[in-house]
């Protein structure tokens, strides 16, 4: 006579493919490898986004020799005396830190409080004709350090 099994009994009696449990030491090793791999992947992603977003600051002499119209550059240098303000638009020149070469800049936006002649600035600009137009809210004035030795 053939024994008849219920479905539940047949399920319980079937052979299991993975009947033994994983060794705890191996389980810890696998978890460690997975965690370290994830950490490494996140670190690489952070480094990549940090370096791909940065751009090299250029001096006025570098921009004069190689700037392409419409492309954004980060300009750094010192403000030349004689800048003009007309409402929110400011026209000024930025010169090399050590040289005499300067470029005209047109900036529309709020000027930082320490902005004045002979202060070092960093600004994102686009070349439009003979003038470099500053991106709105990109002007940063570097204050002179109070920790440098005074000139005598």
Per the DSSP assignment, residues forming a β-bridge with 90 are 85, 107
Per-residue model confidence as pLDDT tens for the chain (152 residues): 455 666 666 666 666 666 567 788 889 999 999 999 999 999 999 988 887 766 678 889 888 888 888 888 899 999 999 889 888 899 999 999 888 899 999 999 888 888 888 899 999 999 998 899 999 888 998 877 665 565 55
Q: Coil, strand, or helix at residue 152?
A: coil
Q: What's this model's pTM, rounded to 2 decimal places?
A: 0.61
- Which of these, 61, 56, 89, 86, lies nearest to 73 by C-alpha position? 56
For 73, list phi and psi in degrees, rounded to 5: -130, 155
Whole-angstrom distance, CA of residue 145 vs CA of residue 93: 23
Whole-angstrom distance, CA of residue 51 vs CA of residue 126: 22
Tally of CA atoms within 13 A in the half-sphere of 21 that contains its CB: 4
Q: What would be the CATH architecture of the domain defined by 57-142?
A: Beta Barrel (2.40)
Q: Is 60 exposed, middle or buried (0-12, 13-18, 19+ CB in 10 A)?
A: buried
Q: Coil, strand, or helix at residue 82?
A: coil
Whole-angstrom distance, CA of residue 96 vs CA of residue 100: 6
Q: Assess contact for 120 and 141: CB atoms under 8 A.
A: yes
């Amino acid at each position: 006579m053939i024994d008849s099994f219920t479905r539940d009994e047949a399920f319980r009696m079937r052979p299991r493919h993975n009947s033994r449990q994983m060794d705890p030491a191996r389980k810890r090793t696998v978890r460690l490898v997975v965690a370290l791999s994830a950490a490494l992947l996140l670190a690489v992603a952070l480094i990549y986004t940090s370096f791909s977003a940065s751009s090299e600051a250029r001096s006025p002499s570098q921009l004069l020799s190689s700037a392409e119209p419409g492309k954004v550059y980060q300009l750094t240098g010192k403000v030349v005396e004689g800048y003009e303000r007309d409402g929110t638009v400011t026209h000024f020149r930025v010169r090399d830190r050590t040289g005499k070469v300067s470029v005209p800049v047109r900036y529309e936006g709020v000027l930082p409080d320490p902005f004045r002649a002979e202060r070092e600035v960093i600004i994102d600009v686009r070349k439009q004709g003979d003038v470099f137009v500053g991106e709105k809210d990109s002007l940063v004035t570097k204050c002179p350090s109070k920790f440098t030795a005074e000139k005598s």
